[in-house]
Amino acid sequence: MAGMSVFEIAGRAMSAQLVRLNTTASNLANAGQVATRAQDAYRARKPVFAAVMDGAARATVRVDDVVSASAPPVRRYEPGHPLADKDGYVFEAAVDPNQELIEMVETARQYQNDAEVLNTAKSLILNTLKLGQ
């Protein structure tokens, strides 16, 4: 990969943050979901990022995969719940809404930083073009 521009680098970073934001939104949407069996309970999703280098020692990011978290679902005794097993237990998704909200704020900040990089690069290019006038 030869010569990534600052626009390509920031664009890829913004795309990665969008994947991160979507997985966080999915986790929040499924927080509190219950299932009859542990293996059927929702598991939080997390993107896996990898660095991408070009020949000029510039780096950006790509999304390699989106994986399920290893945290086991929470077993809760609720004998009156329609999804309770024969022993009266349901399995709730192991999603911490507070942690997911923090993740969402952090993702939004990173996205804003990437947008600011684009705006700064654009301004620098425009100011450079004005030097010749």
Q: Where are the domains of the chain?
A: 6-32+43-70+96-131
- Single pTM value for the model: 0.83
pLDDT of residue 1: 43
Residue 78, both tokens: 């609720």
Question: pLDDT tens string for the chain (133 positions)?
Answer: 445 788 999 999 999 999 999 999 999 999 999 999 999 999 999 999 999 887 777 888 999 999 999 999 999 999 999 999 999 999 999 999 999 999 999 999 999 999 999 999 999 999 998 987 7
| Phi, psi dihedral angles at 61 (to 5 degrees) | -130, 155
Short-list 69, 54, 80, 67, CA closest to 19: 67
Angstrom distance (rounded) from CA 105 to CA 24: 10
d(CA 93, CA 43): 6
